Structure 1
């Protein structure tokens, strides 16, 4: 354990109570998942030497790419995926839709590149170069983001010019399975190329803004390029790549659930500190989300066993273990997970219950049923009220409780006292009282009865 985690996570010397909580949480995760945890959950981007999640090999030459499973077809409308007579976009003439409704739906994405096509096609093509797309990273000096992606001339062998001299790059091939589809929107086999360490360096706001939700996606860094194995990247290919990145398995959740054709997992996402780079976000700290099975499989599942007698809920977190706890930001809605960890390690939880640095947390029911935001909020209130009542903290401020912890005389609730209080009957009564007090009426079904 020492070679993976160079600090003693159970040492109490010189640490604040919250720092102790965070260190103990890291130790808990290390014990639960072993010392190879960090390597096991290292961000496993598909490189030339690795196989993808779909068992499709990365083709070594264009002829092999054209014979791969993702056989291109332009017979489908790229938006609704129906086979129909298609009408070309009158500006770029590189993508066609079955209706004006589908064209309007695609316009926010399509317009970022559409106007560049006729202009770029008039420029000089060098040798064997093909047209590609680049999502440029934010400016190195000013930090200003690129306004939109741009078309570029590129060859497979000359990608290094789009990355810093000291940087290595790798990539992943477009795969319809990541979008739960049998149809192929792309006109050819496509490859997305990015920095070997996509979480270091300049932020790529251009890609985040194009995809549509920077809070749901991986925090991309550095330039990201797209090229085709058999020809120019078209505007239909651009739509395919946006879908691909919106459904990327390492995202936190689906940006647009309508772009995923398979079944999804519905749950609640607790965002990690509602600000990015010092800018206050307008998004809520809690939000309902959908994720694919592939996204869930890429995350670490932490069952909330304290709720086994109420609702079967798992907390899903992502990232490597050191980054997960030492560099990630705090989610203000991880009290349930904190109580679970404290009960597992110490058989008690000390008050006040404070968040630990685990970054974004996705809460889902492990019985396959959807977890709605209101369900989670009431469940969190239910558990916290039980904890406060058992601790007899009425009238005590959070500052007073922190003072007691710092004096090594904390107020605590024991596992054997809390668990008998967390039952279906108790929660059903709490839900009834909550609905009455908040004017929801009796028509709002209790989550345990769904």
Structure 2
């Protein structure tokens, strides 16, 4: 089953003929499937049915599902998802979960974009938030989730502390808009808890759209706090925002490997604690390589502070300050490996940046190179030379990557 169509039965994926009479939200194809869903559906159905949207406090609040520690049933609540207006990252909503989960611990933010029980991709994203330290910080057993897992025999994860789930519009990575959850979403959340730590496909591994291999260049914050590699392989859906809200690279374009790039909003866990000693006096937003990918090679580019364009030889303002982590994919949607991106970044920084610097007079009293000469040197052959230099460096370290050259995939 591909998309999470609104007419699909929440138990078996068939076309539906009925809604729950009480909540008017969950869809079923038959009374058999409705009865199968009832043990968990009943835990929230009554509360959901009486939770009127007319009571929405503001247009920044969304209907979320709260899993309290000391109650055997989950609850429907209004969650404030405050709009953030950021010159660097644009406009996005940030869920204010600290008031529920506490501000004394980092928060886990797993996304559900695929139901491994139904083998169904969702049309929107569900975010499940919990105290990331709940197994070691004295958090009590979450009785409302225990009430869900008690509906089926088996061994389940030891969920502790308060947990809250809310929706995000669309799929991909780092969506900007939050949304109300409904009872179909509750079924997906239920299956998440029932299948967690089993042999099912992870909830974010498969989602709607064609999958392609991309790379995430992780900033200092994501590397230090989450132990992420600098160049991380990721799967990107064809419906990811990177294909509608993207930037590109002049250098990659000139060497015949055009790419799309997109910055990721900062993770609240490290963004709110930038003075943590783990950052070793660096900004957690630091991501120089992602910036060098965007050096301007347009000889006609004019300095324009209003748009952030700094002109020939410089990355735009948005790729200089507070960059954070960034996603990179090929425009032709062919596989892109971490080694490909590492080679491209090294090429931009170690080979092309000095040429651009020379052309703007940084090697005075030498006569600056002309822009035409610099552009002629940014080409496929010089990149291939850098590619093989990188492979030699890896071999000297005892590493023997088997990645084909980017042009050979």
TM-score using structure 1 length: 0.45
- Looking at secondary structure, tell me which structure has more strand per residue: 2
| TM-score, structure 2 as length reference | 0.48
